[in-house]
Amino acid sequence: MKELILVRHAKSDWGSELLKDVDRHLNERGYSDAYFSSNWFRENKKQPELILSSTATRALSTALIFARTMEYDMKNFRLEKDIYEGSVTEMFEIINRQNDSKNSLMLFGHNPGITNLGNLLSDDLFFDNVPTCGILSFTFEKESWKAIEPKSGKLNYYQFPKDFKNRD
């Protein structure tokens, strides 16, 4: 069985017109949501065997916060430049080429890719928009990442920052 965990980067800062999109960093809420969500993940879910992150600053920052919170072994942390602005087809290609020795993969990326991919993986629930720092988890009754294809997964869980708005 394989598990794919999709995480949309936390809220980014739009404050400077001089920055390229790929270089935008997290804003204050983004950092807060990333720390809170990563703590929730550490306390409630099993660590993924592999983390892949977009090379964009906001996605990488989110992924590093999760990794640090989980005390993650960084030898299983990889940058994947094709996640940034990747189409759903490109995202499937990234997933399909992973080593089958790893049964769980956490992928940090962007919209519309994360929302579109999440909606194509399963018929269980339609997501109009996966919000920043939203987490989706899918399981697949497959032995190989090469076998992951549209509608082959089952929604395992989803968690969005708004679900924690009553936090202190």
Looking at residue 113, its pLDDT comes to 96
Residue 8 to residues 54, 102, 135, 145, 160, Cα–Cα distance (Å) = 10, 21, 7, 21, 10
Q: Which range is least confidently modeled, 12-16, 74-78, 115-119, 140-144? A: 12-16
| Whether the Cβ atoms of residue 137 and residue 154 lie closer than 8 Å to each other | no
In this prediction, residue 166 carries a pLDDT of 57
Confidence band of 168 (pLDDT split at 50, 70, 90): very low
2: pLDDT confidence band, cut at 50, 70 and 90?
Answer: very high
> CA-CA distance, 122 to 154, in Å (whole number)?
6
Residues above pLDDT 70, as percent of the chain = 98
Per-residue pLDDT averaged across 141-163, rounded?
95
pLDDT, one tens digit per residue, over 58-108 is 999 999 999 999 999 999 999 999 999 999 999 999 999 999 999 999 999
pLDDT of 128: 94
Q: What is the pLDDT of residue 43?
A: 97
Counting beta carbons within 10 angstroms of the beta carbon of residue 126, is it exposed (0 to 12), middle (13 to 18) or buried (19 or more)? exposed
Fold that domain 2-164 belongs to in CATH: Rossmann fold (3.40.50)
Q: What's the one-letter identity of residue 147?
A: A
pLDDT class of 18 with cuts at 50, 70, 90: confident
Q: What is the mean pLDDT of residues 29-39?
A: 97
Tokens at residue 13, please? 């800062």
Averaged pLDDT score across all residues of the chain: 94
